[in-house]
Structure 1
Amino acid sequence: MKTAIVTDSSAYLSDQQVRENDIIVVPITVIFGQETFLENIDIDDQLFHEKLQTSGVMPSTTQITLGQMQEVFDKLIAQNYDEVICIHLSSGITSFIENLTEYAKTITEINVIPFDSRMTSQGEANMVLLAAKLRQEGKTGKEIVPVLEHLRETTKVDFMVDNLSFLMRSGRITNRSAIMGNLLRIKPILDMNEKGQIVIQSKERTRKRALQKVLENLHSDLDRGAEEYRVSIIYGIDHDLSAKWEETIQQEFPAAQFESNQLGPVIMSHTGEEIVGVIWGKDWEKM
């Protein structure tokens, strides 16, 4: 059985990870006014920052097209692949995976297996890397998906944004909550619920209190065995704050596996650049 693995650019896998694990990454489109950019091809973090400061318009994104996916499928069919596992951005914030699931029913020359990560960034990436690991071990798509589901069930995220206006504008959280938050100048802790939707979990007055809330949430899971967990610090442009969070959390849970993952234009189009957070779940390398 010849199995391909496809994901999107919001997983923010490194070039080395993509190359070493033979992963296909389909770029998501970022929009500034009338200009469109494919993430990690036409636009990187630096250009995104420049456009954000100088363009005078707020960025938006558009989901991957089925035409883009068909191009990928055609290439895989030509290379005699039997199946392709497609691991993508949460269905709670985009309808893409739902559209792909319907479209997959029309594909007859290769078995298309859509998988909803219900996550983004490192949470999504870890599922992709787990799929690649299991494929290397000789597992088929039918055997890989249940393991991915288990990792998804254990994966959680808490993140803090400095300004709720980006999330409010994109409709990723309710306008009423966002407006109240801006008036109160809170530091909201957001997470993704069981449907992969972004929700406000708590409203803290300071960054220090926000970090303490995240630590409380981490303790609820990692106290049962931190050595079984992988903790990922995600951030936008504030390297110093992310480093502080990583140092503090690592001191609290020294047995866990740690890594950091800088977010890119697609996610920051919806959160703003001032974002820091934590994704944690069972360590995929031990699954």
Structure 2
Amino acid sequence: MKTAVLTDSASSFTPAEAEAMNVIMLPITVIFGDQEYLENVTITAPEFYRRLHDEEQLPTTAQITMHQMQEAFDQLSTAGYDEVICINLSSGITTFYENLCAYAPTVTNIKVYPFDTKIASAGEADLVRYAAYLVEQGEHAAEILPKLADLRQTIGLDFIVDNLSHLLRTGRISNTSALIGNLLQVKPMLTFDEAGKIIVDGKERTMRRAFAHALKDFDQAQAAADYPLQITVIDGNVPETAAEWVTQLQERDSQLTIIQSHLGPTLGVHTGEGVMGLLWSRDWRRELKEK
């Protein structure tokens, strides 16, 4: 039995990183006007944010098609794989997972296992890393999927956008009725709910206060957990702020595993530039080392 892991470019891996893990990564399409680009293939994050800043027409995205998925399945089957675990964007912000679940039973040359991350970006990425590690250890989908679900349960996220205009424009935010006052004048605190939808979870006047809010949420999660947590600092083309957050986290706890992740074009279409986030989850690598 040979098992593959497949993800999409919203996981923020570079093609080289995915290849190093033996993970198949399919690029999501980013569209500026009548020009289409493949995320991290024909458009990089720096190029995307430059165009987002300079161009009047705002970009959109197009999800990976089932035709593209079938091409990947065919290649995996030819390479001798028997099954593939597909770890993609949350079903709460795209219909891709639903489409794949409907399509999977029609695939005859490889067994397809869709997994709903109910998250995006660094959260999706860590689920992919964990699956790739388990495959490397000789495990298969039947063993891996429950472990992915367990890890997913430990993920928490607070992210902060400059304003909600991009999320409102692309329809990726769910509880707009919860907005009180003019949130466009503050720093909206967002998270993913249990269904994997983006919701407003609060608001702060400044990024400094938003960071303190996120730290409080992390501290509460850490106090409640009977396992070690790792934390990821996510930024949307604001490396200086990310560096400040990392430094403050290191000063708070020198033993904490701190990872940095950058928001790529696909998610940048929906959040705009300047987003910052803290994502935490069970530190499975540390657990393995301490065994």
Provide the C-alpha distance between the structure 2 equivalents of 1:225 and 1:50, rounded to a whole number of angstroms. 40
Structure 1 equivalent of residue 4 of structure 2: 4
Structure 2 equivalent of residue 88 of structure 1: 88
Residue 26 (structure 2) pairs with residue 26 (structure 1): yes
Provide the C-alpha distance between the structure 2 equivalents of 1:222 and 1:253, rounded to a whole number of angstroms. 12
1:54 deviation in Å?
3.0
Distance 1:28 1:180, change over 3 A: farther
Which residue type is aligned with residue 24 of structure 1? I
Residue 243 (structure 2) pairs with residue 243 (structure 1): yes
Structure 2 equivalent of residue 17 of structure 1: 17
Which residue type is aligned with residue 153 of structure 1? Q
Q: Deviations over 1:179-204 (max 9, x none)?
A: 94445x11111000111110110111
- TM superposition score normalised by structure 1: 0.94
Range that drifts further, 163-172 or 145-154:
163-172
Structure 1 equivalent of residue 138 of structure 2: 138
Q: Deviations over 1:248-287 (max 9, x none)?
A: 2333333321110011111110000110101100013236
Structure 1 equivalent of residue 114 of structure 2: 114
Q: Deviations over 1:86-107 (max 9, x none)?
A: 0000001001011001100111
Is the contact between residue 165 and residue 178 of structure 1 (CA under 8 Å) also seen in structure 2? no
Range that drifts further, 78-87 or 45-54:
45-54
Provide the C-alpha distance between the structure 1 equivalents of 2:182 and 2:128, rounded to a whole number of angstroms. 35
Structure 2 equivalent of residue 193 of structure 1: 193
- Please state whether the residue corresponding to 1:223 is helix, strand or coil: helix
Gap runs ≥5 in structure 1: none
Provide the C-alpha distance between the structure 1 equivalents of 2:165 and 2:179, rounded to a whole number of angstroms. 7
Distance 1:226 1:19, change over 3 A: farther
Provide the C-alpha distance between the structure 1 equivalents of 2:118 and 2:128, rounded to a whole number of angstroms. 13
Aligned CA RMSD, in angstroms, stands at 1.8
How many residues get paired?
286
Structure 2 equivalent of residue 68 of structure 1: 68
- Please state whether the residue corresponding to 2:255 is helix, strand or coil: coil
Is the contact between residue 227 and residue 256 of structure 1 (CA under 8 Å) also seen in structure 2? no
Which residue type is aligned with residue 80 of structure 2? N
Which residue type is aligned with residue 270 of structure 1? H
Is the contact between residue 164 and residue 178 of structure 1 (CA under 8 Å) also seen in structure 2? no
1:33 deviation in Å?
1.3
Gap runs ≥5 in structure 2: none
- TM superposition score normalised by structure 2: 0.93
Provide the C-alpha distance between the structure 2 equivalents of 1:13 and 1:275, rounded to a whole number of angstroms. 18
Residue 225 (structure 2) pairs with residue 220 (structure 1): no
Q: Deviations over 1:85-142 (max 9, x none)?
A: 0000000100101100110011122100000111111100100110011111111110
Is the contact between residue 127 and residue 284 of structure 1 (CA under 8 Å) also seen in structure 2? no
1:17 deviation in Å?
3.0
